[in-house]
Structure 1
Amino acid sequence: MTDTKPHNRDKNYLVKSDSPFLKALGVSNDAGEIKPNKYAKYRQICRFVEIFIERIERTQAVKQKRVKVLDIGSGKGYLTFAMYDQLAKAGLNPKIDGVDTRTEMVDLCNEAAQTSGFENLAFHNMKAEDFVQGYYDAIIALHACDTATDDALFYGIRSKSKLIVCAPCCQHEVLVDLQKSETANRKFISHGLFLQKQADLITDNSRVMLLRSQGYQVDVIDFVSTEHTQKNTLITAIKKNKPSPKYLEQYEAYKKAYGFGGIKLEALMREAGLIRPE
């Protein structure tokens, strides 16, 4: 039987269900209860924010007068609002920008930001690569589709952001190469579903290597149960060290072993001169 009752099981969640911005965004009802069809997303956001807060506290950003965050592919703004709310409550004086290409979403979120009194929260209708607003302490992206995750990672790498937190989604780029690959690793996989899963893993593992090559300490975790979403992988990266070419060497060997030409993040890094020409 489908549960049609609103959910109010937020006692242990960082983001409270009766937060005014959740009502403004249509996530909760007038009683401050999470709507049944929004509960899975609510759970994802709570966990994402919880992990972000824990990671940002490991950086020097918490000693600043203001913490600047950029949300790439902000969509309906659920995560962006929750992040602003929690950083403000933590006394970190946030300035957060959301970037999305859908005009109706951007307009909705800007109106909700005004309604919620979030003065330093703004949304912009444009592509990530066209958004030039300088340095951000942290870059976030929740289920930025396909190569949009690479755009988010690159923005953080290029500006040497202290923290990058991304939940990838729909990794299709490598799949095309794997379908044509004749390597030993490929010939034993005949089922399309397995090939897609392998493409997902290869894509995210490539991103990890490229992040590490730029001095980031990277963790990869399942941040929520598959009950809430199948796309539950979260990549967190904290800027710790100087660039390390050994990870680029690993990445090149990895491409040869699995027979794929590369990912968008690599192309962006090469274009920016972060990877030397071969």
Structure 2
Amino acid sequence: MKRFFSYPLWIVAVTGTLLLSSCDDNEGVIFSVQDDIKLGQQVAREVDSTYQAKGQLLDRNSTNADVQKAYASLDRILNRVLNSGKVKYRNEFPWTVKIIKDDTVLNAFATPGGHMYVYTGLIKFLEDEDYLAGVLAHEIAHADRRHSVRQLQRDYGIAILLSVALGNDPGTLKQIAAQLGGTLAGLKFSRDAETEADTYSVTYLGGTSYYACDGAAGFFMQLNQQEQQQGTPPEFLSTHPDPDNRIANIEQEAQKQGCKTTTAPDTDLNELKAALNRL
């Protein structure tokens, strides 16, 4: 049976205005950058609430010294990438990162508008700071290149998504938050979007002049090794497929850009892992 949805006239009017007036240079993105920010804020609040209720979200305002040290180390890694001079919406998006305490999950994700989340399982798993920087750069790219909102437009439709952005559809908001966080099937990006995120991870890391610009390739190599040893793919690979081809593509892109591929010190990663291990 077909289901027909009716929306208030104000939503239809706003949708029509966006269709006519959007001037974003990302093909297929109807949302404005401000709509990205509004949607991201709504989704981030829902994600925060979900993991706070489970006691898994590490509070950035905590007075616990190890939580403070963990965020200080993670922020230094993130900010090197954000301040590479290559992130298009560096000054428009809030670019926050929060830690979800779950050692069983090897995953990270970003909402539209640049709210990022990293599981402790992924942080503790990684052997090289360049790899973590590569993961963060990849997730930054999904937000910065507006892949997340583009895919959500396809999945939910512009009218529903506008309603969510304005706080008028709590049911769909919960579904989107769960989807982005990987507690459902995960947000399935197109092959082109994943390739672009990998390419931009090279660009962002290369702009730091600190991290190896092919850090994301090393991350996928480590995931491959774990899969071969354990026989089951990590959560990250369920939403980020085809690691072999992507390793080759990242390395080719690094060679093409001629950027630094020598590894950076692991000081911040080691401090981050040590702080988490004490919690």
TM-score, scaled relative to structure 2: 0.25
Q: Which has the higher contact order (CA 8 A, sep 6+)?
A: 2
Richer in helix (by share): 2
- TM-score, length basis structure 1: 0.25
